[in-house]
Structure 1
Amino acid sequence: MDKHIFCESPDFLSFVSSLSKLEEVASAAMKSKLYNRKYKKGELILEAGAVCKRIYFVKSGLVKTFFYADSREFIMRFFSEKNMFTVLDSFILQQPSTYSILAIEDCHLTCIDHNELETLSLDFHTIETFYRKLLALAAVNMMERIGSKLEEKAQIAYHKFLKENGALLQRISLADLASYLGITQVSLSRIRAIK
């Protein structure tokens, strides 16, 4: 994520505990609701129009969230190992998503379903606190992403991406990077040629 507002953690429960320290019984209850899913490179994790029913934690691999407008792809985010993601509005409201999620690499994800998280939040205050903080941070992160798209020039956005997500450059295509920055590949090539 931009600026890594979400702290990187080795596993789902560590990530949860970084936002809200879980008591042993809450941790055990949440652990019992987690499950793993694997996706092959190029496989859709969520298709636009479907309801996002899960929060995901990336154990390994890389995914992107994106949408199409006028047959052009716009990438909102990349998520790599040790990060958590969902399509926020679809997950919260349980309504069809305008975004898709695609595995850019083979992925191993840990998941929890919406209804399970809602039930756990009612049963355990510390899990409710985690959920509230996760949603708040996701909203802040999205606002920051939208704000930076509106005010940054492409060259500044590119250098910001390098600084904050440079390790991803070897893992994503130039087409995806250009889409994320909201520019053409030709413009990206020009920016990259400037020393």
Structure 2
Amino acid sequence: MIGNGFSGAADFLSFVSLLSLPESEAIALLNSKLYEKKYRKGELILETGQICKRIYFVDSGLVKTFFYTDTREFIMRFFSESSMFTVLDSFVLQQPSAYSVEALEDTTVTCLNHNDLELLCSRYHSIETFYRKLLSLAAVNMMDRIGSTLEEKAVIAYRKFLKEQGPLLQRISLADLASYLGITQVSLSRIRAMK
């Protein structure tokens, strides 16, 4: 049976199978290490300064990864259903995170601990392949995000957000959207008023 007694485990394992083809023994051990956590809207999944010890798969809900400067909040990414996420540098290096992760809605995630993933990688090449591909995808996504922030004007960034993640517009606050785009709410209001 695929799944660990909750639906998220089966979805997590399906996601793994998209990036690698683990043998049944690896799937069984991975499945035994998965567990479910629930977070309420507004609850922090990870606080700045904590070490990120898990990879998360969003079963339901929505989360944001962000950090603060002296004057404002910057949102790095949003993760909704069927997304896998972690705070990459903190997770890989097992060092305190410069970022926080917050549930923007009541959220259910399937989790895998860092130590369990390391054990699985040491035993199964297929799991190591999954992890390598996951890290590669995360790095590419982050490079794209940084490039977009540095290169695109706010109007282009807003249109790109609408095209790629438009359905999230009804689920996030305008303040969070402005923060994600790296602009003020006043600027966002002007952009939204343009036709």
TM-score (normalised: structure 1): 0.94
Residue number in structure 2 paired with 1:6:
none
Specify the SS of the correspondent of 2:68.
Answer: strand
**AA in 2 matched with 1:189:** S
1:43-95 deviation digits (Å, cap 9, x = unpaired): 00000000000000000000000000123000000000000000000000000
Q: How does 1:95-174 map to 2 (within 5 A)?
A: 95-174=95-174
Matched, 1:51 2:51: yes
Distance in 1 (alpha carbons) for counterparts of 2:185 and 2:72 = 13
1:84-107 deviation digits (Å, cap 9, x = unpaired): 000000000000000000000000
* Structure 2 stretches lacking a partner, 5+ long: 1-9
Over 3 Å off, 4+ runs: none
Higher relative contact order at CA 8 Å, sep ≥6: structure 1 or structure 2? Answer: 1
* Structure 1 stretches lacking a partner, 5+ long: 1-9
Residue number in structure 2 paired with 1:179:
179
TM-score (normalised: structure 2): 0.94
**AA in 1 matched with 2:189:** S
Matched, 1:76 2:76: yes
Distance in 1 (alpha carbons) for counterparts of 2:117 and 2:184 = 40
**AA in 1 matched with 2:150:** L
Distance in 2 (alpha carbons) for counterparts of 1:42 and 1:141 = 25
Residue number in structure 2 paired with 1:7:
none
Specify the SS of the correspondent of 1:42.
Answer: coil
Distance in 1 (alpha carbons) for counterparts of 2:88 and 2:28 = 25
Specify the SS of the correspondent of 1:11.
Answer: helix
